[in-house]
Amino acid sequence: QVQLAESGGGSVQAGGSLNLSCVASEFPYGAYGYCMAWFRQAPGKEREGVAAIRGDTTTYYADSVKGRFTISQDKFENTLYLQMNSLKPEDTAIYYCAAARRERKFAPCLGYEYNNWGRGAQVTVSS
């Protein structure tokens, strides 16, 4: 089981920026490497994938955050990041870090089945 711990959440005004971090006990390598991702869940809504990254640095983004959010990783520090710029009130949610062994070569990481989750970090954007 991979342990994940998010940090960096907070409250900002619309247009502001935040940088989330997720320290992992390991990046879980499968037959095709791993998937690491950020999800979010707003009150009364289902959890949705925001951004994901593979071990070969291929990235995936939800349409709602393209051009504003950037996912990155530090393999030496086992840390995942999410730089969030031009934040909007609709970005308000609890943000979760997730990890999975990549066992299916052609499955995109944003829609992958994740079985390791952090406890989440609250992000609040006011108008």
Half-sphere exposure for 122 (CA within 13 Å, toward CB) = 5
- Collapsing DSSP to helix, strand or coil, 2 comes out as coil
94 pairs with which residues across the strands? 41, 122
What sign does the dihedral 109-111-114-120 (CA atoms) show? Answer: positive
Q: Tens of pLDDT along 36-89?
A: 999 999 999 999 999 999 999 999 999 999 999 999 999 999 999 999 999 999
pLDDT tens digits, one per residue of 18-41: 999 999 999 999 999 999 999 999
Cα 101 to Cα 99: distance, rounded to the nearest angstrom: 7
User: In this structure, are residues 67 and 106 in contact, taking their beta carbons and an 8 Å threshold?
Assistant: no
